[in-house]
Amino acid sequence: MNNFIFQNSTKVFFGQGCVKEYLACMVKPFATVMLAYGGGSVKKNGIYREVRGILEEAGKNIVEFSGILPNPTYAKVQEGASLARERQVDMILAVGGGSVMDCCKAVSLAAVYRGDIWEDFWAHPGVIENTPLPLGVIVTAAGTGSECNGGAVITNEEKKIKTGRDYPKLNPQFALMDPTYTYSVPVRQMVSGAYDTLSHIMETYFSAPNEDNVSDDIMEALMKNVIRNLRAAIRNPEDYTARSNLMWDAAMAENRVIKMGKLCDFECHNMEHQLGAYTNCSHGSGLAVIQPAYYRHIYKYGLPKFVRFAENVWGISRRGRTDAVDRTLERLGTDYIDLLLIHQPAGNYSAGYRQMEKAYQEGNMRPSRKTASPYIFLWRRTMNITARNGPEPPMTDCAPLIRMRAGARRRSKESSRWKYRTTTISAREELREITTEEPIFCLRMTRSCSGFFPTEKLLHLEKICRSQYNYT
């Protein structure tokens, strides 16, 4: 391993009820507390009322600083700093996710610094000689890991630049992490945060050195944990085990432990920051778009590490087939050879159509609304893993759209021309129904349907599959 110096000054209180138990004693030395939060969700879920009640009971003078939106701006930092100086704030208590915490770190510095913190500390790395205002955080959304480091990502809207710096002096003095506080986070935001965690780990994992080191072994365990618990949390957003693991995964990814001895170039994050500066997109979503494409370009230059990643993290064997495929086929009540016999001739030979007609007549394919084509039944039979135990997913029109040739070629009674039966299906809606444990199966079944997919639409669907599952 390379040489390193490790430091983390944040004291963490983790677990259900930690805010009620420890917040009062942590703010005891401070008379005036700035209570900072975002767009108001903390008021809807009751967290604001609970936190403010504890501060009032402790006799604190409370100064509210609200309206911190995702991708915090330098203008908002200046607003907070001006308020802190005007009201003579003694400490800042940030209640929220990464954006609130990042903004408050910058505010804690700007409140005591008379110069331009953007030019002196964000546009270019600087040396903090002042003592920032004390900062404490209460985490309500997991993902960034900002609660355990001095990192803050700020957007300068005027210059269209988004950048992050990590200064140990900006570390929160304490972090209160109650996993139940994350229950009200929308599923989309939860997934975005989990991908941000995964991205932090991958950016570190694929950086030098590649020789045997403790950090890589820890990261593989963390990535597997994120993947496993994200799936569990999607199934049940109030699964305490899953949400608590995801919360601690995020902290572990950014508390500097796994970065020891690694270079940590964070190229995808740097690219996403500029994308976010112009589009204001969700950080995790932006990374999910950029990272798979980036890795497809670079994997050949670090193939041994990517092979290790596939085997140790995703459980993909070198022969290219996982146990997940067999589990899926078992749930479908078929085997791989049967599916190939049905799919490969589909749309090309009458034998394939007869196979599907037979399956339909035997009740092995389920109709959807008024559609009468065996092709669409077969697609839903193979791709909608949950169809047996749940309702059919809605066949709605939404982008990106894929037009599937869902009907057999039949002579119309009205004319001698061939007619096609088509239906429009949202690729993303369909992909949400696929159990995420079977990425290989997903791609194989997609490709095996190529006989009745227009080529450009098939390629579009495959891109979505790769971006969703990071698999090619």
35 contacts 47 by C-beta, under 8 angstroms:
no
- pLDDT above 60 for 333: no
pLDDT of residue 325: 54
pLDDT of residue 120: 96
pLDDT of residue 211: 87
Question: Of 97-106, 381-390, 417-426, where does mean pLDDT reach its minimum?
Answer: 417-426
If we measure between CA atoms, which residue out of 85, 71, 92 comes closest to residue 162? 71
Q: Give the C-alpha separation, 296 to 126, whole Å.
A: 35
* Residue 399 structure tokens: 């982008």
Of these ranges, 266-275, 321-330, 381-390, the one predicted with the greatest mean pLDDT is 266-275
Q: Report the share of the chain in percent with pLDDT over 90.
A: 55
Per-residue DSSP letter, 390: S
Pairing type for strands 32-36 and 91-96 reads parallel
* Residue 208 structure tokens: 């030098």
Pairing type for strands 418-419 and 410-411 reads antiparallel
Instruction: Give the model confidence (pLDDT) of 435-461 as tens digits.
Output: 333 333 444 444 444 443 344 544 554
Per-residue DSSP letter, 89: -
CA atoms within 13 A on the CB side of 379: 31
Q: What HEC string does 333-388 produce?
A: CCCHHHHHHHHCCCCCCHHHHHHHHHHHHCCCCCCECCECCHHHHHHHHHHCHHHH
* Residue 19 structure tokens: 């805010």
- pLDDT above 80 for 394: no
Q: Give the C-alpha separation, 325 to 442, whole Å.
A: 9
* Residue 268 structure tokens: 């995808």
pLDDT of residue 470: 56
Question: Of 342-356, 385-399, 439-453, where does mean pLDDT reach its minimum?
Answer: 385-399
Q: Given the structure tokens 């939860």, which residue do they identify?
A: 190
pLDDT of residue 180: 97
* Residue 244 structure tokens: 């608590």
- Place 199 in a pLDDT band, splitting at 50, 70 and 90: very high
pLDDT of residue 93: 98
Please spell the DSSP secondary structure of 240-262, one letter per residue: HHHHHHHHHHHHHHHSSSTTTT-
Other CB atoms within 10 A of residue 347 CB: 17
- pLDDT above 90 for 390: no
**Interhelix angle for 214-235 vs 303-312, to 10°?**
50
pLDDT of residue 320: 61
Question: Of 199-203, 214-218, 421-425, where does mean pLDDT reach its minimum?
Answer: 421-425
